[in-house]
Amino acid sequence: MTPAPRPLALRSREGTAWLGMVVFLGSWAMMFAALFFAAGVVRSRLPEWPPAGSPDVSRLLPAWNTLVLGASSAGLQRALSRARAGKSWRSGLIGSVGLGVVFVGLQAVFFTELIRAGLRWEDGVLAGVIYGLTGFHALHVLVGLVGLATVAAGAAARPLLSLRLWTMYWHFVGVVWLAICAVVFTW
């Protein structure tokens, strides 16, 4: 049996919300593209990367963070699929939020390790690229966590639509992280 069509006004609001998220993500994509471009220009003008005399930067924590963010994204996609099927989905969303919190915690540990290794944010181009890209990304993860936590707490007026939009945002954050890993941690 085919479900009854939804009223046009409802579909229109959902389409507008979806388009709004696409435009929002497009604007952030342009901001990250500018940061990646700047990092590329800096790297291309140096005789070697990382610059001579730079402290060693661990790639272990970023690798773990990649796994954590990927698992969070997969869990969130599963929660969305369950919500679309009319099944219980909040526990999956809460698990994804928990993994997002782990990601931010590992970023804090990573920044602490960088400082202990002698790389502070004011120490030149390597520090600028690492702290700039990963710090700006961490800010976006925090924004996503607030949005997802709002949906998980049941505070969203339209939970399925909100879950769909924040899932788009979260996947965007994951793709940007992969690009950051490719730009910052490959040498």
CATH of the domain at 100: 1.20.120.80
* CA angle (35 as vertex; 132, 164 as ends), nearest 5: 90
Domain membership of residue 1 (yes or no) is no
Structural domain total, the chain: 1
Please give the structure tokens belonging to residue 83.
Answer: 């919500």
pLDDT digit string (tens) for 52-83? 888 888 899 999 999 999 999 999 999 999 99
82 C-beta neighbours (distance < 10 Å), count: 17
DSSP secondary structure, 7-38, as one string? PHHHHHHHHHHHHHHHHHHHHHHHHHHHHHHH
Average pLDDT score over residue span 139-158: 92
- pLDDT of 154 reads 87
Domain membership of residue 25 (yes or no) is yes
Domain membership of residue 171 (yes or no) is yes
- pLDDT of 114 reads 93
Task: For residues 178 and 68, give the distance between their C-alpha atoms in angstroms, rounded to a whole number.
Answer: 12
Range of the domain at 176: 11-47+58-184
The SS3 assignment for 129 reads: helix
Evaluate whether 168 touches 148 at the Cβ level (below 8 Å).
no
Radius of gyration of the chain (CA): 19
Domain membership of residue 125 (yes or no) is yes
Domain membership of residue 165 (yes or no) is yes
Domain membership of residue 36 (yes or no) is yes
Bond prior to 51 in cis (omega within 30° of 0): no
Helix (H) or strand (E) run with residue 51 in it: none
Q: pLDDT exceeding 90 applies to what percent of the chain?
A: 74
pLDDT digit string (tens) for 117-137? 999 888 888 899 999 999 999
pTM of this prediction?
0.89
Domain membership of residue 142 (yes or no) is yes
Name the one residue in this structure whose structure tokens are 């700039």: 132
Domain membership of residue 52 (yes or no) is no
